Amino acid sequence: MAKRILVLLGHPDCRPERFGSALASAYVDAATAAGHEVRRIDLADLDTPFLAGQWEFESPPPPPILAVQQDILWAQHVVVLFPLWLGATPAKLKALLEQVFRAGFGLEQSPRGPLPKLKGRSARLVVTMGMPAIAFWLMFGGHGLLALEKGMLGLAGISPIRKSVIGGVEMIGGRGRLKWLARMRRFGRLGV
Ligand SMILES: Cc1cc2nc3c(=O)[nH]c(=O)nc-3n(C[C@H](O)[C@H](O)[C@H](O)COP(=O)(O)O)c2cc1C
């Protein structure tokens, strides 16, 4: 069944030689060819100011961020790709997410506690890194994904959240990269 899919390339550098850019394009092209409706956002193209404080977090964001919120509301499936930088998402991606989750976008406060507002959507997180994937899981407990997976998307009710951890990006060589690009095309075709 055709889905509405939002692909967010959360890389501050979207030049085509970055692997994240190739992965995003592979997903988008395959999903589009399979009949899904696809929108793509490149973080590098966005102006993402740092959030100034709680008062700002509680007020609506500026128009470019409102447009990102609308794209998320439109989507049935959200794909976020990013490189692991110092064990976490790049600061520019974190800055965008702080802006996007303004004004109770993902969670509504109620007397019974926070209510998730993005239910009915699924997600895939795709993270690339220099270290082998096994080290990411065993030495760091997958920490670089947790804030985004559990602290933001999970709390907002997005489920399931699938993960692709692409380790050793500088070591896997052309064949390793082609394997991951093929995987991204398969995910794109299936809309997962
Ligand atoms: C500022 C910076 C910090 C990085 N920190 C890490 C890190 O903490 N762990 C790691 O495994 N790789 C780290 N790397 C390597 C990147 O994750 C890797 O080069 C990137 O995922 C490759 O994808 P790309 O070609 O799309 O940039 C870092 C790279 C940069 C530029």
pLDDT digits (tens, 9 = 90+) for 72-105: 999 999 999 999 999 999 999 999 999 999 999 9
Q: Judge whether 61 and 50 are in contact, CB under 8 Å.
A: no
> Does 179 score more than 90 pLDDT?
yes
Instruction: Please report the domains of the chain, with CATH numbers, ordered by start residue.
Output: 4-190 (3.40.50.360)
CA gap 149, 105 in Å, rounded:
16
pTM for this entry:
0.97
- Please tell me the residue having the least CA distance from ligand 1 atom 29: 85
> Does 14 score more than 90 pLDDT?
no
- Give, for ligand 1, the residue of 43, 129, 140, 169 to mutate: max count of ligand atoms closer than 8 Å to Cβ: 129
Q: Judge whether 88 and 94 are in contact, CB under 8 Å.
A: yes
CA gap 34, 23 in Å, rounded:
17
For residue 74, the model assigns a pLDDT of 98
Sign, CA dihedral 181-187-191-192, equals negative
CA gap 155, 33 in Å, rounded:
32
> What is the CA(153)–ligand 1 centre distance, in A?
23
CA gap 91, 62 in Å, rounded:
19
